[in-house]
Amino acid sequence: MRPNKIKQKWNAGQWVSLGWLSVSHGLTAEVMARQGFDALCVDLQHGTSEMKDVAPMLQAISQTDTVPVVRVAWNEPAAIMKALDLGAYGIIVPLVNNAKEAAMAVAACRYPPVGMRSNGPVRAVHYGGADYVANANDEIVVMAMIETKEGLANLDAICATPGLDAVYIGPADLSFALGLPPRGDNPDPLHMATCDKILAAAHKAGIKCVMHCATASFAAGAVKRGFDMVMVTSDLSCMIAGVRSQLDELKAKTA
């Protein structure tokens, strides 16, 4: 089976860069995948993509060495299994509140006898290889998002979930949970301390911790703090930033 670069880097003690796809288009996915990210995530929760968009976007990503990841919209086994069958090598599950929910997410990502995933890797076997079914349990990465009050209260139990590879911090919803205005790259001391608490709990449990960032500078700081994966930017945010930069420069030079 095609090895999972995320796991390879983690096993080597290295951090992983993650890009984000908010726009549902194969060309956008291909262009982003060619920029050098270790992994790239199709966002079904807050992006414009639907499940029908996942296959062509994963096909576009698969032209490169970038690892295809999908954030599902909800902790729903059928959607998780479908994303995996289409070729996702990593699954991000939002709004995980307790160990039971974390275990349900893991089970949907693992074939029996470990989990409950149904056998039918319609595209995954062509991407992953003929021995996909025999080895998928060891290669697929499953990440549970910690971003709610209940999730924080059950942090240690979630991190101890057998088969869970990582916890993923959603900074905006985490801000809600802490009574703060939602934002990315939140420098609030309470938010920073909570993220470090999540990081420590993950590492204590022997799993990885991921930080969702909005800028390279904040992502670099997260790497220095010990985070194992950082989401650094998205297709949409790059497009907006690039357009604004050019327009601002144009207006300044023609004022």
The catalytic residues are 46
Cβ neighbourhood burial of 45 (10 Å; 0-12, 13-18, 19+): middle
- CA angle, residues 155, 137, 124, in degrees to nearest 5: 115
Instruction: Provide the 3-class DSSP secondary structure of residue 60.
Output: helix
Q: Alpha helix locations (H) across the chain?
A: 5-11, 26-33, 51-61, 77-85, 99-109, 124-128, 132-139, 149-153, 155-159, 171-177, 189-204, 216-225, 235-253
Q: Would the CA dihedral through 79, 80, 83, 86 be positive or negative? A: negative
